[in-house]
A and B are shown apart, each in its own frame.
Chain A
Amino acid sequence: MDLLLVVLIAGFFALTSRLVALFEKLRGPR
């Protein structure tokens, strides 16, 4: 259970870091 929850936390932050990359791509070239 502990390992599963640690993976859930880490997975969420990894997903959110992908969101950063996605939004930067959406902003387009400056």
Chain B
Amino acid sequence: MTGNAILQLALYFVSLLALAWPLGTYMAHIYAGKVPVFVAWLRPVERAICRLAGVRGEDSMPWTRYAIALLVFNLLGTLAVFTLQRLQDILPVNPEGLGAPAADLAFNTAVSFATNTNWQAYSGESTMSHLTQMLGLGVQNFVSAATGMAVLVALARSFVNREATAIGNFWVDLLRSVLYILLPLSLALALALVSQGVVQTFDGRRTVELLEPVEFEQLSVCVWAEQAGNPLFDRLGVDAQASELQAGGNMEGKETRFGVVASALWATATTAASNGSVNAMHDSFTPLGGMVPMWLMQLGEVIFGGVGSGLYGMIVFALVAVFVAGLMIGRTPEYLGKKIEGFEVKMAAVAILVPPMLVLVGTAVAVVTDAGRSGIANPGAHGFSEVLYAFSSAGNNNGSAFAGLSANTPFYNILLGVAMLFARYWLIVPVLAIAGSLAAKKTVPAGSGTLPTHTPLFVLLLIGTVIVVGALTFLPALALGPVVEHLQMIGSR
């Protein structure tokens, strides 16, 4: 790896670690109602919105009411985005006169943005009008992320509350997430992008000259696999060596500006963090290079994960880890001072099993039906990977696409849309049920039989749990896709 590559990766990890503590502390203050001075001017706005909506902040809800409020809000959001798309041809702010997307695509997109998946089965800005993007997709980018954050804060509160019947007020958590966290962050980041020339106007499309290609070089298995390139090309005499003139390795489907390292870094970050955007065609990665982003999603989106959902997903795995450890040492499992009993473990099992079921059953249905197979661009193992990737993305609310699969068909739009709905809400409901159950419990002081959960040993146990569950569930499917493809590739050397 070159100095440039090491610098890129180091900058990424240092920024991530440096931001975690101050941002986490800021968020904890916001949810506790202690608004820091520099955003105190937003307090009257919060009060005015609450008064207007008839929300009383002190009205803390039991988990069932919290869940129903969340579901009603998300139902209305989904229906609003669906309607907005279907009527976009007669609504204003549509300078290109774009027609309404088909009903199945509008369903898929509405569900995708309401569930914070952001999977797009259509091509970018040539399908949705400015109004649909701003009022529909843009708004959902805030409120769906805030929904995930609200669930996380309700779960966090349940560890702090003792013998409480309520877990917080959904509307207040939602509003605070948007007003104090997401809006200020987006404003600052949008200004940074504008300063770099990224603008959004009300004009139609404009054709611009591409930037001059910039040379980058070579992360993890993904970087290694991509940099190693495709041996079949070597046989044809294609020069894939890194040099002053080119990044080298497998450059199919990648921008020369980004090269292998920035493409692999983005592919791993976007699937570990549930970002959903791509800067290279994952379909064109080498089999092992493409398997890494797929595997990161299949682990349940817990490495960084989605907004809010990444951490509540990881806490669910932590409950399973303390349960397993409790079984091994013969003690009642405890986590952060709360006893973990049968109900919590059952709910954790539901939350962990729903995504793999959606991914595996969805993939199986797609590869045995004509409608599913007709969307596959490449036959054989690679085609299977295309379908498996699409369901891994939808079934874990990631949103990134492998490309290659023609997913804008009624079959895929509806099946992937349904997978996104279950993946989102059939995880949120058991997580809120765990919050409700934990909040009602007493806090148990740590004793000699308590397994410490802040030690490297527990971290290893937690990582082991995530990997073992992920591996046991997905290795057979991965063996049929990227693993076979890799063996075929090296076998034909």
Contacts and interface: CB of A to CB of B under 8 A. Distances in A.
A23 B430 contact: yes
A5 B78 contact: no
A20 B61 CA distance: 14
A1 to B, nearest CB: 4
Given A2-B103, A5-B103, A27-B343, A16 B425 contact: yes
A8 B108 CA distance: 12
Interface string A1-30: 110011011101100110111011011101
Scoring B104, B106, B421 by chain A CB atoms within 10 A of each residue's CB, the highest score goes to B421
B103 A13 contact: no
Interface residues of chain B: helix, strand, loop or mixed (majority): helix
Contact of A9 (B72, B86, B111, B437): B111
Given A5-B103, A26-B343, A10 B75 contact: yes
Given A1-B104, A8-B107, A23 B433 contact: yes
B437 A5 contact: no
Nearest to A13: B75
Contacts of A1: 103-104
Contacts of A26: 343, 346
Interface residues on B, range: 20 to 34
B433 A27 contact: yes
B440 A24 contact: no
B183 interface: no
B68 interface: yes
Interface string B400-430: 0000000000000010001001100110011
A17 B71 contact: yes
Interface in B56-91: 63-64, 67-68, 71-72, 74-75, 78-79, 82, 86
B75 to A, nearest CB: 4
A28 B106 CA distance: 40
B50 interface: no
B288 interface: no
Contacts of B287: none
Interface in B148-194: none
6 contacts: A5-B103, A9-B79, A16-B429, A20-B64, A20-B429, A23-B429
Interface of B: 63-64, 67-68, 71-72, 74-75, 78-79, 82, 86, 103-104, 106-107, 110-111, 343, 346-347, 414, 418, 421-422, 425-426, 429-430, 432-433, 436-437, 440
Interface of A: 1-2, 5-6, 8-10, 12-13, 16-17, 19-21, 23-24, 26-28, 30
